[in-house]
Amino acid sequence: MRIYRAKNYQELSRKAANIISAQIIIKPNCVLGLATGSSPIGTYRQLTEWYEKGDLDFREVKTVNLDEYVGLSGTDHQSYRYFMNDNLFNHVNIDRQNTNVPNGKAADLQAECKRYNELIRSLGGIDMQLLGIGRNGHIGFNEPEEAFEKETHIVNLTDSTIEANARLFDNIADVPGQAITMGIKSIMQAKRILLIASGKDKADAIQKTLFGPVSPKVPASILQIHQNLTVVADDDALSECGLGSEGMIVC
């Protein structure tokens, strides 16, 4: 794995965007796996800025998002479809037909999970998967469990995840209790994985993810065995890893 240490969130966002932009330039019709939440917002802003300068072209890019809340339509301001439109898709020249987010309002949720798995396969898999990380080590909405979930599935969100996401809703009671999420197998089959993390509240999860035992109790720990993992994290997120002050560490 390669670990890039950033001084702050701004530097982290620029470095992550640089890695993603290189993927797009090398393979203009690449398939990007995308994430939501606060961590990638700066990265998406940087990608938008480079697009506006004429440095990036999204016309052939295809995307698959990690997850979506059950019960929210894509027009709901709290949905992850809305988040992606608002933070990236509305600001670049991507074909909206090439952007994919699970349907949280599907009448048959199990059929929707199957459809999403088949969609990823039909695209030839994911060239680069962007991930954030939860304070309990979840990636996507793969919560700590007794076993790793393989493919797209329905998950009951933990109290800690609901609490962490409550800041985005008017009331904690409004946070959906379930989500559709891409599974660990789908994530691990991506050709490249880019994990980003910022802040002291992610330090314990990052330490356990990168240097603890591989365990479904810390879902992100499975990333240790991926052959092409890049981590971009700021000083605070890396504060419990004892890695020194180098700009890049290869483990």
Note if 138 is an active site residue. Answer: yes
Q: Spot the catalytic one: 68, 112, 127, 143.
A: 143
Q: Which of 65, 67, 151, 226 is catalytic?
A: 67
Active site residue 143: yes
Distance in angstroms (rounded) separating the CA atoms of residues 108 and 134? 28
Return d(Cα 185, Cα 173) in angstroms, integer: 31
Which DSSP string corresponds to 195-240? EEE-SGGGHHHHHHHHHS--BTTBGGGGGGG-TTEEEEEETTTTTT
According to DSSP, residue 34 is labeled E
How many residues are given for the chain? 251
Distance in angstroms (rounded) separating the CA atoms of residues 186 and 23: 19
**Of 98, 100, 136, 142, catalytic:** 136
Cα four-point dihedral sign 23, 24, 25, 26: positive
Residues 26, 145: Cα–Cα separation, whole Å: 37
DSSP state of 163: H
Active-site residue, from 117, 138, 153, 226: 138
Q: Which of 58, 48, 49 is nearest to 23 (CA)?
A: 58
151 is catalytic: no
By annotation, the residues acting in catalysis are 67, 136, 138, 143
